[in-house]
Structure 1
């Protein structure tokens, strides 16, 4: 309809949507809350005036015309939405579920080339869940399983496209990639095909545990009934976990809805006999022990391609939904050992223009080589906010790409440290590759992960926000210097060596993750 917006998000993905509206598409303005969390009348009046009666508002309306035209074109014949809709209708007409069911029944009856245990893997439809489950799939294949890997239609096509050189669709003798329209629960699939059901959690045990035990925390008066503390204070919520800021609880940004959803999810998962965690027992043994008294907890991480653990960086069996930029590896080959600052914020990291500028100036001031990943999907194909002349000034020591093969990057000897959003996959990969971290958590469980990295495992440093919620260029420069060029940084690297050794040993024969995995395999074989 082409109407510019004033953005006032409340919870969950609304904050993400607002960021796109204001900072990416530039079709609206943000309403700012005061210190008490209120948007005051004068703020509303001023922002309305900016949007409807100033040059800034005129520019926003011009941008909206462009996006309005895009929205209307996409549902016309040949537009992407029209095409997607027709693909969906065609799929429904062909009775996809019937065909999939018949295929699985044929396999279970022995009408296939070889008889072997068959596992159906269904990841949550997001990059951070798909990739580690694909690592589990390949691991099961190595132990004689045939895998059916089920994705949503959209992710299936993205994986095939992003991995077109790896011919993932034609691994029929090992892994069969199939897809369904989104919405079919795993429990229903298991019951439909009379197969065992196992849970697979891609975060720390601690993240699951605090959700599972939150009803008890409410009954003890440690949490309010809606799960959202009024005051932001440091609190020890579970005896075996480090203290957390109230605002760093994994459901905090999503409000009461996400709090209730987490409780329901944890209760359902607790009923499953085998709950596999892509984590390392030694990293959080106390929490794992506490939760094991309530349900079956089996840490089997790190689920990382064996070639990386064996020192071979040339091959990778990942399932990225974005295509890697391999030129950055050639660039890394030209850099000195432990000299490069690697900067990446995962598949959903979004920075506004002001924060992009501060980060760019901080990297420039550090006077060190850097590899910076800025996803083109997030930045609409361009990088907004870069200071004038920045690319020219850092041309001899900077490499900026839209997506990178992260394990190959982290395992490269030129990497000195990792500036990360502290998504669990990134943290675990960094530990397994022995790279210290600068922690910049954005939302969800990333704050818990960051707390462990900095205060428990002591393998990284925090990046501190100013009063406006920005990390300033000088903070970047100072933190980089502390981590790579001081005695404090040397001590952190020594700690990292210890955890790196633990991470690699736990998946070797006799290690706890290896033992847990073998127990699971034997149980599934019966």
Structure 2
């Protein structure tokens, strides 16, 4: 009798990748013959169990289990965007050896739990060590980059950009075109590349070694998984097919999960932040298509000055807004009086009259609410896809990683919003909010709703993403190396 497949999924332990890969894990779990182990860090798992229904939800699947390992970081580390390099280095030093031990025969937990041995790995693309581990235990490796395919493609081309003299930049013109990225001709400017590319000392940047490693190791996997769909990323997916034998575009994964799994618990969530559901009651009281949702995601941090400019711009725009102010997202000066504490009474009063502020929100539900007409976002890939699926136009204020290129595609390629990168003054905020929420509201909504329909069709039976998911599931069952 053939052994049943057993997939081990190992995400980068941050909100976006964990959320994305949990959606994939649940889709795999509805197939009774596929066993799934989801590897969390201790820190992420504690938060996940504290703030979500994940334990109850996945208990419905006898073929699923969570497993945890330490990430090597102090428990009180904020693990924001400023600590990502430190986190990845810590995982390679502390978590990687334990991971290797866990999936080898001597340290495998599969025997103790009467599960079949691990037969394939699905690992975040930022972890180069997975190639050697998969080879050592003789199983196929699927790299799953949960950021946008466009950004991953740029990462892979960084060595060629350096060799061609495109990096580091010569001169200070960030609007100069970047012509030598196949699949993105006539789209990119320098300012649309990942922000580490803008450093004059890029070759000394610690993140560049990670990018060069990813460029070297990603093509060595047996397959590449992306959370996207053909209608938005077709040209880039075609580029990846030139370097990988198997490319699976299975997104948008949150929509895919909903399409395949009928029963949903009342407050299903994969958030490692505590969601404040009172904002949904506030939204229920607002007129249809009247509210701007504002969130800079789970990792971005901003200065007090940026915070105040954003606040002034929102108030001056005159629109209703739901604003997520994540704890720890504002960098406060240590030696000067806080600008926030000196905020005018008028700002506070107008916010109270037509604004709602929460520490974290159930974002998928918020974007699906009929009162929401726009999203001022950091342009993380999960947020971008969630907005696309619900047909909500965006104002993009990118922070790092893939967000610069995502915001360019929103504004210039898909034309479903505005790109606010490098321009966040209160006057710019006010102008762009008015344009999306009033001046060009109908135009943006019409284009966004067309793209939303394509996204939903892609995950229905017969759609491109549905077919790629079926192919992935079949390969998980049968692929050998």
Q: TM-score normalised to the size of structure 1?
A: 0.71
Distance 1:490 1:277, change over 3 A: same
The structure whose Rg is larger is 1
Partner of 1:300: 250
Is residue 25 of structure 2 the alignment partner of residue 137 of structure 1?
Answer: yes
Correspondent of 1:236 among 171, 175, 179: 179
User: Residues 1-27 of structure 1, C-alpha deviation per residue, up to 9 Å, x if partnerless?
Assistant: xxxxxxxxxxxxxxxxxxxxxxxxxxx
Partner of 1:339: 290
Is residue 460 of structure 2 the alignment partner of residue 508 of structure 1?
Answer: yes
Q: Secondary structure of the equivalent of 1:342?
A: strand
Correspondent of 2:39 among 150, 158, 161: 150
Please give the alpha-carbon distance, in whole angstroms, between the structure 2 residues aligned to 1:384 and 1:135.
Answer: 40
Aligned-CA RMSD value? 2.8
Please give the alpha-carbon distance, in whole angstroms, between the structure 2 residues aligned to 1:179 and 1:253.
Answer: 37
Give the conservation status (yes or no) of the 8 Å contact 1:135–1:305: no
Q: Deviation at 1:244? A: 2.3
Please give the alpha-carbon distance, in whole angstroms, between the structure 2 residues aligned to 1:309 and 1:433.
Answer: 14
Partner of 1:128: 16
Deviates more, 1:488-497 or 1:501-510: 488-497
Correspondent of 1:424 among 365, 381, 385: 381
Q: Secondary structure of the equivalent of 2:254?
A: coil
Give the conservation status (yes or no) of the 8 Å contact 1:235–1:245: yes
Size of the alignment, in residue pairs?
406
Q: Secondary structure of the equivalent of 1:178?
A: strand
Q: Deviation at 1:509? A: 1.1
Give the conservation status (yes or no) of the 8 Å contact 2:304–2:330: no
Distance 1:222 1:313, change over 3 A: farther
Correspondent of 2:430 among 454, 458, 477: 477
Q: Deviation at 1:169? A: 7.5
Give the conservation status (yes or no) of the 8 Å contact 2:53–2:268: no
Distance 1:189 1:483, change over 3 A: same
Please give the alpha-carbon distance, in whole angstroms, between the structure 2 residues aligned to 1:363 and 1:308.
Answer: 33
| Structure 1 residues 389-428: aligned runs within 5 Å | 389=345, 390-428=347-385
Q: Secondary structure of the equivalent of 1:244?
A: coil
User: Residues 392-436 of structure 1, C-alpha deviation per residue, up to 9 Å, x if partnerless?
Assistant: 332132110111111000011100100011111111110011100
| Structure 1 residues 12-31: aligned runs within 5 Å | none
| Structure 2 unmatched ranges of 5 or more | 72-94, 97-128, 333-337
Please give the alpha-carbon distance, in whole angstroms, between the structure 1 residues aligned to 2:349 and 2:289.
Answer: 24
Q: Deviation at 1:120? A: 0.9
Please give the alpha-carbon distance, in whole angstroms, between the structure 2 residues aligned to 1:391 and 1:152.
Answer: 39
Correspondent of 2:224 among 266, 275, 288: 275
| Structure 1 residues 26-175: aligned runs within 5 Å | 116-144=4-32, 145-163=34-52, 167=56, 170=59, 173-175=62-64
Distance 1:188 1:157, change over 3 A: farther
Please give the alpha-carbon distance, in whole angstroms, between the structure 1 residues aligned to 2:154 and 2:54.
Answer: 41
Is residue 160 of structure 2 the alignment partner of residue 216 of structure 1?
Answer: yes
Please give the alpha-carbon distance, in whole angstroms, between the structure 1 residues aligned to 2:4 and 2:339.
Answer: 52
Give the conservation status (yes or no) of the 8 Å contact 2:301–2:328: no
Please give the alpha-carbon distance, in whole angstroms, between the structure 2 residues aligned to 1:169 and 1:297.
Answer: 27
Please give the alpha-carbon distance, in whole angstroms, between the structure 2 residues aligned to 1:490 and 1:312.
Answer: 34
Please give the alpha-carbon distance, in whole angstroms, between the structure 1 residues aligned to 2:62 and 2:132.
Answer: 26
Q: Secondary structure of the equivalent of 2:65?
A: strand
Please give the alpha-carbon distance, in whole angstroms, between the structure 2 residues aligned to 1:428 and 1:489.
Answer: 19
Distance 1:192 1:163, change over 3 A: farther
Q: Secondary structure of the equivalent of 1:376?
A: coil
Partner of 1:252: 197
Please give the alpha-carbon distance, in whole angstroms, between the structure 2 residues aligned to 1:160 and 1:204.
Answer: 27
Q: Deviation at 1:203? A: 1.9
Q: Deviation at 1:480? A: 1.4
| Structure 1 unmatched ranges of 5 or more | 1-108
Q: Secondary structure of the equivalent of 2:326?
A: coil
Q: Secondary structure of the equivalent of 1:453?
A: helix
Please give the alpha-carbon distance, in whole angstroms, between the structure 2 residues aligned to 1:436 and 1:169.
Answer: 33
Q: Secondary structure of the equivalent of 2:340?
A: coil
Correspondent of 1:521 among 465, 473, 477: 473
Partner of 2:122: none
